[in-house]
């Protein structure tokens, strides 16, 4: 039994943040009914790459879900979506705030037809505040929320994170919010609204950058691949020109590193005996470290530091990631095989549970693939009623 | 009432990934008892910046928790920790796999003393697979897991994300896992082990990079601030030399942008009518966009695009983030004020719930601040028993 078996989720989300949230719920057994516009569907069905005409982007993030097409620009379509929501435990949407209200499906409206409903809204800026009704995408919240200003090769060289961390962290926080609300409902019978803003999530993941600014008044800047408060914690070029990343997070590891490198003299060096000193004296330590790493090849360093239990790795490109022995041993890459689309690979869930093993079960649906099934089995409409709905031209 | 009120969490985590998970649990009402080594405590107490001798790094991530010092290098100390766990609903640890087993506190050991326990382990590589027992830090999993290889100013210029996304995403997935397990336990009475690896989480957030590689065989590379599949979706330099980020995620926004920019002719331009074409013909579109943005100042662009409902922002540094009107309106910056430490600011929870408002309630504990309280009220030891524990020299 999966933890969310029996939980019904009406999924009005598109593209990435909301769909990432409902993917997690689906991975752990929730029945996720994705409502898509007829003909076009989720915007991300138009994003590449494509496998036999289907978007691999879409398919990566919508596994284990069902798709029904309903025209929500039509009042009859909205009435049908409301019927779905009436029977649901959770509704998730990532429209611009105000959109659901305009459709007559704001939380206050839906609470009337389903008082115990959990309503999760994942938006760019949240349902309150002066920017609330503005549209947002990942790049905007990454830029506005500060992570770009601390990522990059050096001062002022602000760089977007190459994955859509603005969407994905909002999807993760939304999933946590839904789980908190489900747990609360299980204990009290009460539903509620969960309001997650992508911008807020960017602020929440800034780590120690806020503290650094507020304590020192110093505006954090990109520092290349270096950590702001931990040293040494970056990549170094080896004799063969290949870089390895090492992360020496405490004084025990510093001793192990110095020993493995054959530079025991550094252990006693007063400039470097503790992390705050190594960080403070970075400019003195950096050239020493650079020279040390140039003395051996990357393979030699990798092997000797792994043996010494010092955190180390090559900088892997995606081809290396999907074939990495640890990634494969953890069942992190799954191959979906949808009839008529063909096989393609995606990341599996990283939440490994001993009693309730979640993750990939079936491929993402084609547009409207489950429309009939949902009308019949979820809404329990008769054949005549289904024909009547179809005759309205809203599917 | 907060959703996790009454839930007892024994927190054996250090630094960032595990503490971030337990912070979320504490934010929503769980009683989180952080077990720290006497004298030194959590490694992150040695990470700057400092406020009156206390680490702001530590304080940012350990609010709402209680601290007890116990020497887990001493068998009597371990016995005391086991007493804590016996009464707990959840234990969270982020040791290197094998460490808890060596201490006699592996999941199999703890299940014997607390059969319904939820045991969450957040480690670098997980509790299975060939790298399992290796140490890891954020920089290592960012480099090994692929996100560095798609972040940076251009091809081959691999860049670490400036926030510790390796830790933080693992903390988020762990929190989801704990919530799934608590929900399952509420329904079935069964505990279980939740095993989250930082490396797995990096793979899970690669977004469409895996699909792009597996479908096209093309190894994704850093693309500066551009999105791989959506165009235009990047920053542009304006007349005053300041950059603005715009994100045009669908064809409706493309029309709005062209109109607001006074370049309606682009709407009908066949090279750019749909997103896949704009992405395919990027090299033709880019110089056109560059020229358009040079025609107005950043303030002019910001105002006109906000008015046109096109997603746009300045690239904010952290000082701008913490004073941003939307961030403040969302109550995302809180000021903690710990007696004897003084005020300092941190990010609040981004999960905004209508019935169960979580987030900052009290400042992080000083090392061992709640030792007596926990012995007396959580373990319910008598004064004599407390004296006996103290006499052992393990606190």
Q: Is B47 left (phi over 0), alpha (psi -120 to 50) or beta?
A: beta
A120 at interface of B, judged by CB pairs closer than 8 A: no
Give the pLDDT score at B234: 94
Give the pLDDT score at B340: 82
SS (H, E, C) chain B: CCCCCCCEEEECCCCCHHHHHHHHHHHCCCEEEEEECCCCCCHHHHCCCEECCEEHHHHHHCCCCEEEECCCCCHHHHHHHHHHHHCCCEEEECCCCCHHHHCCCCHHHHHHHCCCCEEEEEECCCCCCCCCCCCCCHHHHHHHHCCHHHCCCCCCCCCCCCCCHHHHHHHHHHHHHHHHHHHHHHHHCCCEEEEEEHHHHHHHCCCCHHHHHHHHCCCCCCECECCCCCCCEEEEECCCCCEEEEECCCHHHHHHHHHHCCCHHHCCCCCCCCHHHHHHCHHHHHHHHHHHHCCCCHHHHHHHHHHCCCCEEECCCHHHHHCCHHHHHCCCEEEEEECCCEEEEEECCCEEECCCCCCCCCCCCCCCCCHHHHHHHHCCCCHHHHHHHHHCCCC
Where does A8-205+327-391 sit in CATH, by number?
3.40.50.10540
A321 at interface of B, judged by CB pairs closer than 8 A: yes
B324 at interface of A, judged by CB pairs closer than 8 A: yes
Preceding peptide of B49 cis, ω within 30°: yes
B79 and B110 Cβ atoms separated by less than 8 Å: no
Is A235 tagged catalytic?
no
Q: Which of B:21-50 have CB within 8 Å of A?
A: 24, 28, 43, 46-50
Cα distance between residue A336 and residue A53, in whole Å: 15
Q: Which stretches of chain A score pLDDT less than 70?
A: none
Question: What residue spans define the domains of chain B?
Answer: 8-205+333-391, 233-316
Mean pLDDT across the stretch B236-256?
95
A294-303, B41-50, B110-119, B346-355: range with lowest mean pLDDT: B41-50
pLDDT 10s digits, B4-35: 999 999 999 999 999 999 999 999 999 999 99
Partners of A327 on chain B (C-beta within 8 Å) are 199-200, 203
Write down the ipTM of this complex: 0.97
The chain-wide mean pLDDT, for chain A, equals 96
- Kindly give, in sequence order, each residue whose CB lies less than 8 Å from that of residue A12, ignoring residues fewer than 6 positions away: A18, A35, A72, A81, A91, A92, A93, A94, A95, A100
Structure tokens belonging to residue A350: 């990283």
Asked if B134 lies within 8 A of A196 by C-beta distance, the reply is: no
Among the partner-chain residues B15, B137, B211, the one whose CB lies closest to the CB of A49 is B211
A80 at interface of B, judged by CB pairs closer than 8 A: no
Structure tokens belonging to residue B304: 């006109």
Give the pLDDT score at B48: 79
Give the pLDDT score at B337: 85
Asked if A192 lies within 8 A of B352 by C-beta distance, the reply is: no
pLDDT 10s digits, B327-364: 999 999 999 888 888 888 999 999 999 999 999 999 99
Give the pLDDT score at A375: 98
Q: What is each CA distance from B225 to A16, A207, B150, B232, B247, in whole angstroms?
A: 18, 21, 11, 11, 11
Asked if B227 lies within 8 A of A139 by C-beta distance, the reply is: yes
Partners of A181 on chain B (C-beta within 8 Å) are 3, 353, 355-356
Partners of A47 on chain B (C-beta within 8 Å) are 208, 229-230, 275-276
Structure tokens belonging to residue A227: 């950590």
Asked if B311 lies within 8 A of A135 by C-beta distance, the reply is: yes
pLDDT 10s digits, B153-176: 999 999 999 999 999 999 999 999
Asked if B195 lies within 8 A of A354 by C-beta distance, the reply is: yes
Asked if A211 lies within 8 A of B180 by C-beta distance, the reply is: no
The backbone torsions φ and ψ at residue A268, rounded to the nearest 5 degrees and listed phi first, read -90, -5
Give the pLDDT score at A80: 98
Structure tokens belonging to residue B115: 């059969």
DSSP structure class, residue A374: I
Among the partner-chain residues A132, A183, A204, the one whose CB lies closest to the CB of B350 is A204
Alpha carbons within 13 angstroms on the beta-carbon side of residue A44 total 21
Give the pLDDT score at B87: 98
Where does B8-205+333-391 sit in CATH, by number?
3.40.50.10540
Give the pLDDT score at B338: 82
Give the pLDDT score at B255: 97
Among the partner-chain residues B48, B129, B354, the one whose CB lies closest to the CB of A276 is B48
Where does B233-316 sit in CATH, by number?
3.30.1540.10
């Amino acid at each position: 039994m999966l933890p969310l078996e029996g939980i019904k989720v009406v999924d009005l989300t598109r593209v990435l943040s909301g769909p990432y949230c409902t993917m997690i719920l689906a991975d752990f057994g929730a029945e996720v009914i994705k409502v898509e516009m007829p003909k076009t569907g989720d915007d991300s069905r138009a994003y590449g790459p494509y496998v036999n005409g289907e978007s691999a982007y879409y398919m990566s993030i919508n596994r284990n879900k069902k798709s029904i097409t309903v025209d929500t620009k039509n009042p009859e379509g909205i009435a049908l979506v409301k019927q779905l929501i009436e029977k649901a435990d959770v509704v998730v949407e990532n429209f611009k705030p105000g959109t659901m209200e305009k459709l007559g499906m704001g939380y206050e409206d839906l609470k009337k037809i389903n008082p115990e409903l959990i309503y999760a809204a994942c938006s760019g800026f949240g349902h309150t505040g002066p920017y609330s009704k503005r549209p947002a995408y990942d790049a905007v919240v990454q830029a506005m929320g500060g992570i770009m200003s601390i990522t990059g090769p050096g001062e002022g060289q602000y760089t977007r994170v190459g994955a859509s961390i603005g969407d994905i962290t909002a999807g993760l926080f939304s999933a946590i919010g839904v789980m908190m609300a489900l747990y609360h409902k299980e204990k009290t019978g009460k539903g509620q609204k969960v309001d997650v803003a992508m911008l807020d999530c960017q602020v929440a993941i800034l780590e120690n950058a806020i503290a650094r600014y507020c304590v020192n008044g110093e505006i954090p800047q990109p520092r290349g691949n270096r950590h702001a408060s931990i040293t040494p914690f970056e990549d170094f070029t080896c004799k063969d020109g290949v870089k390895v990343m090492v992360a020496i997070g405490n004084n025990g590891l510093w001793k192990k590193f110095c020993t493995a490198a054959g530079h025991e003299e550094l252990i006693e060096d007063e400039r470097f005996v503790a992390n705050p000193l190594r960080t403070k004296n970075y400019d003195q330590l950096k050239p020493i470290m650079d020279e040390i790493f140039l003395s051996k090849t990357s393979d030699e360093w990798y092997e000797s530091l792994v043996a010494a239990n010092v955190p180390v790795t090559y900088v892997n490109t995606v081809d290396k990631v999907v074939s990495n022995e640890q990634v494969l041993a953890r069942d992190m890459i799954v191959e979906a095989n949808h009839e008529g689309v063909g096989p393609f690979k995606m990341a599996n869930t990283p939440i490994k549970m001993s009693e309730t093993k979640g993750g990939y079960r079936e491929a993402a649906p084609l547009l409207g693939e489950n429309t009939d099934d949902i009308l019949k089995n979820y809404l329990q409409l008769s054949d005549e009623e289904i024909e009547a709905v179809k005759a309205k031209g809203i599917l």
